[in-house]
Every structure is written in C-alpha cells, then in structure tokens.
Amino acid sequence: MISFGSDLHSYGFASRKEFIMPAGDAYCSSSLAGNTRKYHGMLVAGRRVLLSFFEEHVNGKRISVARYAGALQDEGLRYLNGYRHYPPAFYYMVDGVSIKKSMEFDGGLTVRYDVCGEAELIIRPLMTDRGYHETRRNVTLDVIYSDNGFKAGRLSVWSSLPFIRDPQVYYNVLYERDAERGYDHVEDLFSPGYFKGVVKGSEALVRATVDGLEGKPEGFKVAGDIIGVLEMAADGFLVGDTVYAGYHWFAEPWGRDTFVSLPGLLLERGRFEDAKRVFRYFAGHIRGGLIPNRIPGGYNSSDAPLWFIYALGKYFEKAEDPKFLEESKEYVENIMSGYPDSEAARLEGALISVKPETTWMDTPFTPRMGKPVEVNALWVNAIQVAEKMGVEPPVRPIAALREFGRFWNEKKGCLYDVIDPVDDAVRPNQAIPLALGLVERKKASSAMEVIRRELLTPFGLRTLSPRESGYIGRYGGDASYHNGCVWPWLMGFYIEASLKLGEPKEKLAELLEPLLLHIQDAGLGTISEIFDGDPPHEPNGCISQAWSVAEVLRAYKMVKNKDFKA
C-alpha cells in the first residue's frame, strides 16, 4: 500500500517518514532513518520509553541509523533499498546478502530478520527508562541476564540468537526533530550487550515484552486499501474504554477530542458497543456539568460537554437502542443542570458565554472570551438533542436558534467568530453551525463562499484568513497554532456543510484526495494534527491525530454513501 525505494538513501527524505504502531497503552515508533524524536522507541509503554532502538550490523556493516552529537551515523541508509508498510518491512542488501527486517507490534515487539545468503548478525538493544516528554543522562539499569537475552525492570528482551554480555553506555544520542522544536534533544542510552550469530538462508527473531502489558486481543491486521489503512489507524486511538487524542505527545484521553472523534472513529463504522463504553467512561467524570478537558486534568473546556451530547445525538441517529437512551438521559440531565452556570460557561439569555481559553482554540493567543460561534452552535444542537431524548433543557431550542441569528456579519457575508464582544475575524468555526444546518440557505451559501475563498486548503481549513492582520502562515508554536495553521478535522464539517448546500458528492470526494494521499507522508498510514497555512502546507504537530483521522473517515463515508442525506 505504502512503499519507497531509492529515495530512502537520502537521510532528509527517510527521516521525515515516520511510522507508529499503537497497541493499548503502548506503541512502537520511529522514522525510516531511525529515532529522530525523544518520543520514538521500539517499545514505549504507559508513556515511558523503555526500548529505544537496535543497533544492527550485517557482516560487519552497520545497517541501522542513529545520530550522536558531533557524529553522524546514517551510513546504513546506503544499504536500505526498500520499505513497505504495513506492517513495517525494511529491505537491505549488504555485499550480495539480502535481509528483510519486518516488525510487528501487539503490545510486545517482534522483529524478524529473513536472510537470503549467509550473514553474521549483531543486534544490540539500546535502552532507557523515562517519561516520553523527557531525556535522560548517565543511564544505568539493573539487568538480569540469561543465555538468550535479559530482563531490565519490566522489560524483557530475548532472541533466537545467543546473547553476549557487554554493558555499554552510548552518550549524546541526538533527536533532531526535538531540537527543531526547541526541546531537550540529547540523551544517553544503555546497552547490556548484544545478540550475535550466523544466519544462512534462514531467519532470526528478537522479541521484547513488558510485564503486565496486554497485547491486541484480535492479533495483528494488514489493511488492503487507503480506507482500510485509516481504519487501522482509527483502531489505534481506542485504548480500553477511552480514546487517546494523538501520537506522540497526546497519548492520553481528552474530552473534547474524544467526542469530536467518536462519530468517525466508531459510529460510522458500526462500533456501537465500543462507543457506549467511551460514553460511560466520560460520564463517570462529569463534574458540575463539565467533561474534563483531559484525564488527568482540569475541567476547563467550555465545549467538551456539548461535543459529548453532539456525539450522543449521532449515536441515536445510527442505532436503535432504547435501553441506552434511558441510561443516557441521566448524562444529559447532569450536563443541562450544571453546564449553564459552570466554571467554564454561563447562560446569558438563550446563548452561552465562555471564559477565555476554554474553546478548542485554547492558547493565550486566541482567548475568545464571550460567545463563540461554534460553542453556541453546539449549544443549540445540545438542547435540540436533549428535547428529543425527553430531557427538559434550560431554554427552548427555538429561542436559542433565534438569538443565534445575531452571529450574522452582514459586512463580510459570513458569521462572526465571537459576539459580546464582537470578533469579526474570518475563522473556520462557522463551518460547524453550517454543517449542523443552523443558518438559512442564502446566508449559509455566502458564508461557505467566504470559507472556500479564504480558509480552504488541500488539507483542511485555515484557522484564520490570510487577509486578517494576525495571520501566521508557518507553524511556529502556540502563536501560530490557531492563527493560520490548517486543521484536517475541520474538513469533515466543511464537507457536511457543502452537502447540505447541494454540492456534488463526486467533487467533494476529489477534495478529500490530498488528505487520503497524505498517509504516505509524515506519519505513514495516518493523518497529521496540523499543516502550515501557506503552500506547500507542510505537515506539523502530532504525526497521528484522532480527530484528523476520524473526520476524514466520516467525510469519506458521507461522500461515498449513496443513501446519505444532508
């Protein structure tokens, strides 16, 4: 499905292609040129990097890649002649000997070296034990040795090859992507020894596991097409009874991200039992009408409870489930009774006013205090869903919808981003009320034209129009995060709004093609968190984001489903 050839000889190319294989609360991840981030690791469990990478030699020639401060060790790329994904498979040729290295991850790592010819293999594991946001120096680990491997803490590594005890510390390992981001990027790694043996026309295996870590119960899967690849990526975000927001550094539950993602990750795929477990998990964390922004974390999200009800509404559109409907009424009642006078939001008239930095645009550079357009669209939707479920909302939907009309900006022909006080910056949040059908057709058409002209890119919607004075076209941290960067998840709502206005499904399907092809770019087999606002729209942020994958899947289902009616 995804493959590369001689381009891999270039470190600049190979180091920008990353893979990730999640399984429960663990993952295996690297670039095709070795670890370039402190978040990379052959076995990362519970947000701790345990097994960093393998240093590999074939007949005395190094085939692995690593970089050390002051020393480049990327000569192994000259022997790498092909890569195929998924699962990851690397193809090497060293002096006439062919080696295929394949990797599978089910909560434990299996690396298989298939040798055509005769090769002396030396495989040295390099290890640490640290949180994935950190680096570590002067690493020493307590090791228990055996003939075919070792155990260090919870980590066990063994092989079909004999193990030779040879403790070493590798100093000043460099992670250049973290250096680019301005974070700690140099650390030391420990190796207890190496596996060594001659393999002739056969195979060698290395296996690494972590005590107490459960693997994938369904075993390892191979996808057959682009959508199959994305659905496999979608499965990787479901961890137990919750959803992780993104990899690498958002590998934890986030309330808002979960319920934006849930329709595309689960409901569109008929995963209703999984969805109910997620609803119940977060319902158990409702406090004062709020859903936590992250777990563990604070109750500072003004939109997470509304996204929860949005996803519930989508559930009952898809599934006839009277028993769960009765159960869900309590969840909705808890939100309706507490949310309108909560730590994050307050009911003013029939609309919702929020505290600063509580919407999805949550940095100090986009405080958005007042009445944000998407929060109030979700509020109107939430009280509509509540009424349908038989729950009495604090205001009538017709009153809230009438007052929502105040968001119309006659001068720009689109919706204000915030009112009370007014912010007329052209932002993509207005796509959400358009997708929900809350704006009459003539005005909706006008607003969609503004979005198309000023915000639409091949990879989603810009967070701010380039015509606005605060626009930043290249990602550069929090200041640019919501002031120009493109977010793929917004494409789902753009597509839905376009369908409501009668746009042909065939044309909208073509609009999704660049995002589908992106699975061959930064995070292989998945979709990035953000892109630059300016061409060529380089990917940035997390290499794999739940709501990016979810909303592209949902959009694809909408444009390909002949029975879908907007």
Distance in angstroms (rounded) separating the CA atoms of residues 39 and 29: 8
In this model, does residue 220 exceed pLDDT 60? no
What pTM value is reported for the model? Answer: 0.95
Helix (H, G, I), strand (E, B) or coil at 114: strand
Beta bridge partners of 115: 99
pLDDT reported for residue 566: 61
Unique residue bearing structure tokens 């494409």: 491
Helix (H, G, I), strand (E, B) or coil at 489: coil
pLDDT reported for residue 222: 61
- List, in sequence order, the alpha helices (H) in 390-440: 397-404, 431-435
DSSP string, 262-320: HHHHTGGGT-HHHHHHHHHHHHTT-BTTB--SBSSS-S--SSHHHHHHHHHHHHHHH--
Q: How far is CA 413 from the centre of its chain?
A: 34
> At residue 45, what is the residue type?
A
Distance in angstroms (rounded) separating the CA atoms of residues 397 and 399: 5
HSE, side-chain direction, 13 A CA sphere, residue 112: 11
Beta bridge partners of 415: 408
Positive/negative CA dihedral, 356, 358, 360, 363: positive
Please write the tens of the pLDDT for every residue from 512-563. Answer: 999 999 999 999 999 999 999 999 999 999 999 999 999 999 999 999 876 6
Q: Where does the pLDDT of residue 564 fall: very low under 50, low under 70, confident under 90, or very high at 90 and above? A: low
In sequence order, what E strands does 318-438 have?
Answer: 345-348, 351-354, 371-372, 408-409, 414-415, 418-419
Closest CA to 432 of 419, 454, 415: 415
Tokens of 118: 């005769």
pLDDT reported for residue 225: 86
* Arithmetic mean of pLDDT, 241-255: 95
Q: What is the percent of the chain where pLDDT is above 70?
A: 97
Tokens of 7: 């381009």
The enclosing H or E element of 256 equals helix 255-265
Distance in angstroms (rounded) separating the CA atoms of residues 158 and 417: 57
* 307-to-171, 259, 330 alpha-carbon distances in Å: 47, 5, 16
Beta bridge partners of 61: 58
Would you state the torsion angle of the CA atoms of residues 131, 134, 135, 137, taken in this order, to the nearest 10 degrees?
Answer: -70
In this model, does residue 209 exceed pLDDT 70? yes
> At residue 53, what is the residue type?
F
